[in-house]
Structure 1
């Protein structure tokens, strides 16, 4: 199968190759410079020793020779670097184990006219990828690629979708035209190693410097020179990498086209749109079990739980179910993104899903589809899921013997946890990213409004449009202040240069002011709607008291948060080299700040809700910290155990503060939901 590459692909390929050519020329000049410098250092060192043999000249001569050798080694060290991928998290599978899966891969390999993978692995996550170990010689020698398939992906895909995703991966290496991309990728990685991967080099110089005071002087000279060389190489790397990223985005489009020709445009589109939901569901299950470590609980099959969570979220968001899987539409995937600002991310290696789907729809290639679950390609998929789940949890350290949570118990606890940590859907996400307006006052409603009108899609869109406008304003201000360097950008469908950015600020500010007025009016209507509902239900004082309590905390929030920022700043010295006397003075200064911190944390520890927010060990540690006057520095050394308790208290405090705010906000919204229900019943009666 041959697919003509686009003009953009050709253009960006030429740009990437030109950048590499320029880099090679600069590198050759640096190489020649280091060769001359090395020869001068070595010859000069030898002549110095011969001219006057004595201990001083011997050490100086050896230091000069060492300087030359280290500088030369720096410029060629990438030749000896080999990138070995970590395979510890992977599980290899063979044709005899999974013949149906391998049969599908055979078909893809045949259609893409590429080589069969060297090895095929299963991973834990929601992804598929091709990888290989690389070195400098990878540019000249053929390399067999390995294929990784995430079980979390198989679990949430149809056979046709999995075929499309795997076809995309092979599409990167399927044609001659793509080899330039592979070559650029390798060269880019080599340059990265040359510029950044110098830990072993620094360790070698430090070891040499520690041998003698004479050598330490020459080691400093070596580092100074190599840092200047590295500065040049870093600039060149940015020059090459930005063009590599541009080519990489075009390669993604091309690989999508290959996949569409093999499996159809629709299969790849639907898998791309669902993958975020599938990944988010998998992450939610992992987070759930992170909180269960202290209880020594784990999962028997994390993928059954992922599937449940994915469908749980789909039901909450009223997503269509197609082929027994949530069918996420493009409009639903970007539901709350109301930004009018479009900036091409020149450092991104992948285009956005929106860009990819637009191109797939333009291709509109239809194929006969097998929409059975991808899991059916495996002989014993449930056993495979359980095997990988056991491997995943084997890396977790439990204090006692762990127990696997029953699936039904997981479902019950997850739903309860989600309900506890989220706001009711009845508010249509209106309050998910905004708080009630605490400036509102009781007044007569301007007109008869229903609950559904107050929390309609149009009113919710006002909230997210305001958020987008405020973010757009910050981004454009960054462009104006040259914090974000770019030539052009699009705003509301029109192209602007960075010099024209200033003219947009008044336009955005005007839009922000208009929408704020509309939101403030709606918030006032909401408040008075619930005042009226609470009055009918005899719960007015309960509603207003809860509202004002949250308003008080909102007013105090920034002040309370300064307790954290002040003590965090005051302890920053521990991350730097500090004289002993200064450390002692710093801890004396820290004392009143620590007392403030303890005063703020104590009410949380006395609250009945603390066990909902912290684990048993965290509660014990905090109680010990609060009950004792700990010493953090004694006999000219830090007391590590005590410092760990201090840092734990510092870092937990803002979490406890945010949890208190969330809980009080949820209490208010729960009352509002109850009032809405009772008010609806009153109207019916």
Structure 2
């Protein structure tokens, strides 16, 4: 194992990994909270049982129709209440995740030898089982049942191969050591108690099942019987509200202990790798997730084309390489590109997230974790090799996890064929070519739709921009120059200000003063006025974008004065894009209307009247018809030439293969509404893809026009 087990630092003092004295008091607080919950819950169960006992055995002095009805009503109420409180104790909690793939020592002997040696070094018990999945993460988990409250908890280790694919061997050792730090914490037993308590409370407060259906039927029965169901309603409501308060209290106390457990586990990692490795691993999660998301966005498109990759992690690595070459912000965010320090500790996390409220956060900020790990700095020896070398046949394992993920999430047929990742990457790179905009555009086309230009008279639009053939060279040079950079910095700063001000107003930011993009500092009481001011500037931004898009069109239209074929293609692509933006904007607006209507319906809850239900059903039907009208209008368009798009197919079929779900205007139908929501999301994603690809193709054409002009000038 010496060949693959990074060397540990020798300078760690004895007792370094022992928890502080405050840790014990936090354990006591959580124990007390759990004891209070258990006593209260069992007392409510006992009280409900006693009420049932009284209802059944309480003698009737006078027997008549009304006393019999009262007796049956009391028994029914008490029985329902007892069943309501008791059912949660026997609720099954299935913690088996089909996305997790168990691995064994026979399959990966070197990894298990690594784990065994690390457990010995950190004085941690061996994991009961080891699993892998696709995530950029590693964690401890256990199967919590009622029995786990009384028997020892068997802790399992989960290793995300997305993480393995993103860090080096020393950082992998640090991450596992952190998890084994949790393995050795006796307070992990409390996690099982808290999990079970949360499960019971969440079931009581939020879940609705056959018991609730029975209560609804009771309330809608004969009026003489229904009255008892209505009397039970406020009792159940009070219990749920009371349990919600207990839930908040338990998690408030447990969050403090959980944060301290994270600090202690980090110190275990420091003890075997030095102060840098665990912090570096935390930092790498950001770029790794960005690369993962980038590759997955294109793989989703491949899936739409019935192309299923055999290896998700191959594309993650390719995406990381691609982003480091094409995206300056990504390249600067890489650990190896951060400023170097000549000696001592290098701090890489800022205190930007240190001001966020932590009342219910189970993990400290990365900044605070770094301060804890480097409070006393211990240098480590870095092994830059990949952790993949610990796994036997890593490519085969990556393919197993990938294919299991796709089969489970997409419910694929067992005989589905997976395409070699290298071939799928060709598809991905074709997508990237059209959907990634070059750095010199400075983000001016990001996070917005192109302005709906009036192209009915191109010459008039050019005149609006105020650009002539004589002014063309200067206009071309100024398009993406210093002026644009200044404007984009202003817009970016405004967006960040809005985020900061929103956090202040939501009380998720506890700073007494904060600095905005203009360099001035403000106090929390000024946040509302400042946010309104920033939001009022959006119409001005839209005017600027319209002038900018008009200028871009005018410049490139004039570049085609002697190139009729290129002018025709330019107009064709602009015309399609403007028409597409109109349909896409309409679709997004109807999606927002749908969400607003759903939110209003949810706010009504069980108090919705029959008349209101009818109104909502009619409104959902109207929205469904509005979506259908947009699809029909979009179907009149003809795709321009695009990579990985069958431009011969109808736009309607591309956006949605099946028909929109039919919605009744007579009654609310939850299943149909969920289907409509899913369909609208699918269409929106495909509209976004077409928009991005069309814009990318248009920009590529405009770049070619500029290149031709530059070449002519050189000649």
Give the TM-score, by structure 1 length: 0.75
The answer to whether structure 1 residue 391 and structure 2 residue 404 are counterparts is yes
The equivalent of 1:343 in structure 2 is 356
Indicate how the Cα distance of structure 1 residues 320 and 339 shifts in structure 2: closer, same or farther if over 3 A, else same. closer
The answer as to whether partners of 1:553 and 1:661 remain within 8 angstroms in 2 is yes
Indicate how the Cα distance of structure 1 residues 131 and 582 shifts in structure 2: closer, same or farther if over 3 A, else same. closer
Indicate how the Cα distance of structure 1 residues 302 and 409 shifts in structure 2: closer, same or farther if over 3 A, else same. same
The answer to whether structure 1 residue 197 and structure 2 residue 220 are counterparts is no
The equivalent of 2:9 in structure 1 is none
CA distance in 2: counterparts of 1:130 and 1:615, whole angstroms:
49
Indicate how the Cα distance of structure 1 residues 254 and 681 shifts in structure 2: closer, same or farther if over 3 A, else same. farther
The equivalent of 2:423 in structure 1 is 409
Indicate how the Cα distance of structure 1 residues 245 and 616 shifts in structure 2: closer, same or farther if over 3 A, else same. farther
The answer as to whether partners of 1:273 and 1:329 remain within 8 angstroms in 2 is no
Deviations 1:124-167 (A, max 9, x none): 32221111122456455432211111222223332212111111
SS in 2 for 1:237: helix
Out of 700, 710, 715, which is 1:670 matched to? 700
Per-residue deviation at 1:417?
0.9
The equivalent of 1:597 in structure 2 is 630
The equivalent of 2:59 in structure 1 is 48
The equivalent of 2:110 in structure 1 is 100
CA distance in 1: counterparts of 2:27 and 2:413, whole angstroms:
53
Per-residue deviation at 1:490?
5.0
Deviations 1:302-321 (A, max 9, x none): 32233222322233236999
The equivalent of 1:492 in structure 2 is 515
CA distance in 2: counterparts of 1:301 and 1:519, whole angstroms:
43
The answer as to whether partners of 2:311 and 2:402 remain within 8 angstroms in 1 is yes
The answer to whether structure 1 residue 231 and structure 2 residue 241 are counterparts is yes
Deviates more, 1:244-253 or 1:55-64: 55-64
Name structure 2 gaps, 5 residues minimum: 1-13, 341-347, 454-460, 517-521, 603-607
1:193-342 counterparts in 2 under 5 A?
193-198=199-204, 203-204=210-211, 206=213, 218-293=228-303, 295-317=305-327, 327=335, 342=355
Per-residue deviation at 1:446?
10
Deviations 1:101-129 (A, max 9, x none): 11221222122222111111222322211
Give the TM-score, by structure 2 length: 0.73
The answer as to whether partners of 1:570 and 1:590 remain within 8 angstroms in 2 is no
Deviations 1:10-33 (A, max 9, x none): 28x746754763675476467556
SS in 1 for 2:437: coil
Per-residue deviation at 1:468?
0.4
Deviations 1:430-477 (A, max 9, x none): 43235679999447799997777538977654432221013333444x
The equivalent of 2:10 in structure 1 is none
Per-residue deviation at 1:65?
4.1
Per-residue deviation at 1:374?
0.7
Per-residue deviation at 1:231?
0.9
Deviates more, 1:29-38 or 1:122-131: 29-38
1:369-384 counterparts in 2 under 5 A?
369-384=382-397
Q: How many residues align?
A: 660
Per-residue deviation at 1:38?
4.5
Deviations 1:159-203 (A, max 9, x none): 212111111112224346xx2xx3553443233223221488853
Per-residue deviation at 1:590?
6.9
CA distance in 2: counterparts of 1:668 and 1:341, whole angstroms:
43
Per-residue deviation at 1:412?
1.5
Per-residue deviation at 1:376?
0.8
CA distance in 2: counterparts of 1:533 and 1:205, whole angstroms:
65
The answer to whether structure 1 residue 426 and structure 2 residue 440 are counterparts is yes
The answer to whether structure 1 residue 467 and structure 2 residue 495 are counterparts is yes
Deviations 1:589-626 (A, max 9, x none): 67985775355333347777795699999718958859
Deviations 1:52-85 (A, max 9, x none): 5678756644553454455456556555456441
Indicate how the Cα distance of structure 1 residues 581 and 475 shifts in structure 2: closer, same or farther if over 3 A, else same. closer
The answer as to whether partners of 1:159 and 1:371 remain within 8 angstroms in 2 is yes
The answer as to whether partners of 2:354 and 2:365 remain within 8 angstroms in 1 is no
